[in-house]
Structure 1
């Protein structure tokens, strides 16, 4: 994946630091920045009291639209004062449709970045992650607080379980992997055999990446009873990775929400940027 356009999504009352990170990344890498500003619209009143509250709802809608317009103007002015190639768009969806709106916009970018300010917004953050991951077909980079996004990583941890999500993540990031100084293809509790990781776990993926020019090594790790996400996070520290690449939501979203999972844990507790694909 050759990255030429990066999308970042911010709200009307947060996201200044997220925008700064995205602007710096695009300036350094010479890529186009698309900014989508989202305000969640209040749902229309329903039921027997709808007529009584409609005036208040209209006022709320108008106030939200003004915030969106003001924010768009401010961001446009900020970007106009730089040399960055950029565009700004806005959306005012109701909560139920926000993920679809984000997903449609993310289809026209090579990568969506979700940084700490967005992730800290419980309402908008969740919709952005779901929309970008499930409705765009493009990868998402989650950037936790204190970390810096990169599309030129030097040391990468590629989480590998031989599943289709991991395969999509590997292919989505193959150009980034080929340009890195070291790629740690990491398997947790690998299982040999046709239904597992193959006769030599990790060998096929490593061979594929080596043909693409990646400097790859295979790290087979025991979980020791620890959650996979915890093992991955620790290994990222051990190998000084500046990016983790992994597949997202190997289980259903409902199951992840109810019981947790590796994707949710990495979203909540990552310490370095994580590029997700599915």
Structure 2
């Protein structure tokens, strides 16, 4: 994936760490940075459909003012840099947030989710769902303490022979071909001609090798541990600075209620994670 436009979503109450990380990523990639400052409106006191209180109106006015101040502050920071950029804002209800985010994510090559946004429990789920489900562009989730980069040296591919994983690999092909080492990690595969192949990982390894990727296959036994835990440990063992994986092999509702690899990796990723669906 060659990123020419990168979307960075910034919460109105965040510090500027995510913005600075996005600036550095766009400078490295020579990409245009599109910043979306986001605020989710609190519902009316007492619930929707009831008489709107004066206190609620005043709160909405304060939230709108905070959003304007955050936009102005972001522009000030960006104007002191030498990258191409634009700044927009969205003030929306929780029920519409996914659509609002998705609408903007459709016109970029990559959506960047930084550690500051990941820490916002009231926004994280809506933002991630919008970026993943309402746009075909991949997301890059960068946990706090890590630098955002599209030039990884060691990459872990979480492979499960599903379409989602295949799409993620194709989206990250530029990063994979440039990496020094790429590990295809498969956890507890079932060898058959209808799932992982008679030799799990051989097909995707051959596909990647034809693109010039320096690839190896690692079949991992879970030993009763969660798949996400196995992948995180393997990423640490090989010194991965990027994980590539597909999102939501099961239904989204099932993932959020009962958990799953996607949700666990998004909530507890130890290294930057590129994901698409």
Q: Distance in 1 between matches of 2:256 and 2:29?
A: 35
Retained in 2: the 8 A contact 1:180–1:215? yes
Q: TM-score, normalised by structure 2?
A: 0.95
Retained in 1: the 8 A contact 2:132–2:138? yes
Partner of 1:213: 212
Partner of 2:255: 256
Retained in 2: the 8 A contact 1:11–1:37? yes
SS in 2 for 1:122: coil
| Number of aligned residue pairs | 275
Retained in 2: the 8 A contact 1:133–1:277? yes
Partner of 2:175: 176
User: How many Å apart are 1:251 and its aligned residue?
Assistant: 1.3
User: How many Å apart are 1:15 and its aligned residue?
Assistant: 4.2
User: How many Å apart are 1:18 and its aligned residue?
Assistant: 0.8
User: How many Å apart are 1:265 and its aligned residue?
Assistant: 1.1
SS in 1 for 2:40: coil
Q: Distance in 2 between matches of 1:153 and 1:133?
A: 22
Deviations 1:39-70 (A, max 9, x none): 112335644x515x1x3333222222211111
Retained in 1: the 8 A contact 2:3–2:29? no
Q: Distance in 2 between matches of 1:60 and 1:42?
A: 8
Partner of 1:36: 36
Deviations 1:46-101 (A, max 9, x none): 44x515x1x33332222222111111111111101110111111001111101110
Partner of 2:221: 222
Q: Distance in 2 between matches of 1:191 and 1:178?
A: 28
User: How many Å apart are 1:150 and its aligned residue?
Assistant: 1.5
Retained in 2: the 8 A contact 1:139–1:276? yes
- 1:47-66 mapped onto 2 (5 Å cutoff): 47=49, 49-50=50-51, 53=53, 55-66=54-65
Q: Distance in 2 between matches of 1:27 and 1:37?
A: 20
Q: TM-score, normalised by structure 1?
A: 0.95
Partner of 1:241: 240
Q: Distance in 2 between matches of 1:215 and 1:27?
A: 27
Gaps of 5+ in 2: none
Partner of 1:274: 273
- 1:94-243 mapped onto 2 (5 Å cutoff): 94-243=93-242
RMSD (Å) for aligned C-alpha atoms: 1.4
Retained in 2: the 8 A contact 1:15–1:118? no
User: How many Å apart are 1:37 and its aligned residue?
Assistant: 0.3
Deviations 1:206-238 (A, max 9, x none): 111111121111111111111111111111111
Q: Distance in 1 between matches of 2:127 and 2:142?
A: 13
SS in 1 for 2:150: coil
Deviations 1:121-157 (A, max 9, x none): 0111111101000101111111112122211111100
Deviations 1:170-213 (A, max 9, x none): 11111111111111011111111122111221111111111112
